[in-house]
Structure 1
Amino acid sequence: MARYLIKRILGMCVVIFLVLTIAFIIVRLAPGDPAALMLGPDATAEDAAALRSQLGLDRPITAQYLSFVRGALQGDLGTSIYFKQPVVSVLAGRAEPTIFLSLFSLVIALVIATPIGIYAAYRRGSLLDQGAISTAMLAASIPSFWTGLMFQRYLATDLGWFPASGYGAPDASFVERMGYLILPAIVLGIVNSALILRFTRASMLDILGEDYVRTARSKGMTERRVVLRHALKNAAIPIITVIGLTFALLVSGAVVTERVFNIPGMGNLVVSAVLRRDYPVIQGALIVVASLYVLINLLTDLLYLLVDKRVKY
């Protein structure tokens, strides 16, 4: 086990180093001069040159890269060109809504997908099974921004059940801010429940046809115990895998939903940083998201040990 963890951690370090390199290259391939964009159309060439020198953008690419990597290894992702603050502080200030939005969305997706997927597999070929698969495909096909706009229009504006947008006033309590995340979490939960539902159904179908399931039934066990204790437990590994991937996608892919509901999260921040050519923020966000991906992947693999003692590393 220790050997496996060491190998995985070394692999994570390699992945993050590659992400550092790719992030550095990609943002500098983007067209436009960040100094000129910051100063506006009325700035002179001398002003732009002075700002580039201040930001270190006039140094050779190799020197910029080495400085960037050295700072990242020390936990310094640079200073935001727009906010004039450390990138770590800027990202930390936007992390709360994105993390809680992702968690709420994942819970909603699980509440929707898991019981329906289990029951659809148990009643394979039934009207409910066919309806569940069709609904899941429809939910996965509809763009999340359209679903968000419709929910915002009818549930928030017309019925007034939820706040339409925003994240509360600066002095709002934690509970009040969480209330602003319910409607976007429902939107993301519905969209992402489709994949979990299909994986749950497919995994359960594979297990329900096994000999030990038929043996459990022949011993007189109730169907509920057979399905939940024997079948679901052995079908859990693929389901846990897709849940981990879904959570990682939610953390990194909530950009559209945050824009629709005007949530000041990391997704909204990255879009604004791209428009402003705020290189440090873009690089920092890419590094943080990649680190979360590899960390969630590792935690997902370790969860296998809790659900199936036969798994060996």
Structure 2
Amino acid sequence: MTTYIAKRFLGMIVVMFIVLTTVFVIVRLAPGDPAALMLGPDATLADIAALRKQMGLDQPIAAQYVSFLGQMATGDLGRSIFFNEPVRQVIVERAEPTTLLTLFSIIIAVVIALPVGVLSAYKRGTLFDQGALSTAMLSASVPSFWLGLMFQQYLATHLGWFPVSGFGAPDATFLERLRYLALPSIVLGLVNSALIIRFSRAAMLDVLNDDYVRTARAKGMSEWRVLVKHALKNAMIPIVTVVGLTFALLISGAIVTERVFNLPGVGSLVVGAVLRRDYPVIQGVLVVMAGIYVLINLLIDMLYLAIDPRVKY
């Protein structure tokens, strides 16, 4: 087990090194001078030179790369030009809406997808199975921004069940925040449940015809116990994998939904940083998102050990 965990940590370090190198290269290869783009067309040469020195862009590329890796290793993501604050602080201030939206969305997706996927596999070929697959395909094909606009129009504007947009007043309570997050969470949960449904169904189909399932039925166990205790437990590895990857994608992919519902999250921060050419913020968010993605993959690998002890061998 120790060797298994050590290999996963080593793989995480290698992946993060590649990600940091890629982010560094992309920012340096972007057309134009980053300092000139951030300051705008009215900036003087002296202003541009001062900003280049502040950002370390006047140094050789090798020195910039070493300095960049050193900063990232210490958790220093740089300083935002627009906000005039450390990038880490700017991201933390915007993290709450994105984090809550992602958590609620994945919970809704799993609550919908797991029972539907299991029952669809159990009732393979029936009308329920065909309907579940068709609905999953439809959910996967519908853009989240379109579904969000439709929900806004009918559920929020016409029926008044949910707030149309925003995140509440600065002093709003947690329950008030939940009211504003309910509709976007439902939108993302519905859209992302499609993939989990298909994986859950496929994983269950792989194990329902195995010998231990037939033996459990021959012993007179109830179908519910056979499905949950035997079949579902042995099908959990691919299901956990797709749930973890969906969660990671939700964190980095909720930008459009946040814009539709006017949530002051990381997605809105990235869009604003792109429009303002705030390269330190863009660079910092990319690194943080990549780190979260890699960390979630590591946690999934650790869960494999708890689900199936055979993994460590």
Query: 1:23 maps to what in 2?
Result: 23
Give CA deviations for 1:173-226 in whole Å, capped at 9, x if unaligned: 222223211111100000000000001111111111112211211221111111
Question: What displacement does 1:64 show?
Answer: 2.0
1:132 is the counterpart of 2:150: no
Query: 1:2 maps to what in 2?
Result: 2
Q: For 1:84 and 1:6, how far apart are their aligned partners in 2?
A: 39
Stretches of structure 2 that go unaligned for 5 or more consecutive residues are: none
Query: 2:81 maps to what in 1?
Result: 81
The TM-score with structure 1 as length reference comes to 0.95
Letter in 1 for 2:172: A
CA contact (8 A) 2:156 2:162 kept: yes
Question: What displacement does 1:59 show?
Answer: 2.7
Question: What displacement does 1:97 show?
Answer: 1.1
Letter in 1 for 2:251: V
| Partner SS, residue 312 of structure 2 | coil
Query: 1:184 maps to what in 2?
Result: 184
CA contact (8 A) 2:38 2:278 kept: no
Stretches of structure 1 that go unaligned for 5 or more consecutive residues are: none
Give CA deviations for 1:98-136 in whole Å, capped at 9, x if unaligned: 111111000000111111111111110001100100110
Letter in 2 for 1:103: L
Give 1:214-293 correspondences, 5 Å limit.
214-293=214-293
Q: For 1:247 and 1:20, how far apart are their aligned partners in 2?
A: 22
Letter in 1 for 2:193: S
Give CA deviations for 1:73-102 in whole Å, capped at 9, x if unaligned: 111111111111111111111111111111
| Distance verdict in 2 for CA 1:213–1:81, change over 3 Å | same
Q: For 1:311 and 1:44, how far apart are their aligned partners in 2?
A: 61
Letter in 2 for 1:95: A
1:298 is the counterpart of 2:298: yes
CA contact (8 A) 2:5 2:302 kept: no
Percent of matched pairs sharing the same residue = 70
Question: What displacement does 1:254 show?
Answer: 0.7
Q: For 2:58 and 2:68, how far apart are their aligned partners in 1?
A: 14
CA contact (8 A) 1:68 1:78 kept: no
Letter in 2 for 1:59: Q
Aligned residues: 313
Question: What displacement does 1:66 show?
Answer: 1.8
Letter in 1 for 2:220: G
Query: 1:96 maps to what in 2?
Result: 96
Q: For 1:208 and 1:33, how far apart are their aligned partners in 2?
A: 60
CA contact (8 A) 1:34 1:276 kept: no
Question: What displacement does 1:234 show?
Answer: 0.9
Q: For 1:172 and 1:31, how far apart are their aligned partners in 2?
A: 43
Q: For 1:32 and 1:94, how far apart are their aligned partners in 2?
A: 29
1:161 is the counterpart of 2:161: yes
Query: 1:64 maps to what in 2?
Result: 64
Q: For 1:192 and 1:259, how far apart are their aligned partners in 2?
A: 18
Query: 2:47 maps to what in 1?
Result: 47
Query: 2:108 maps to what in 1?
Result: 108
Give 1:175-214 correspondences, 5 Å limit.
175-214=175-214
Letter in 1 for 2:224: R
Query: Cα RMSD between the aligned structures?
Result: 1.5
1:146 is the counterpart of 2:150: no
Question: What displacement does 1:257 show?
Answer: 0.6
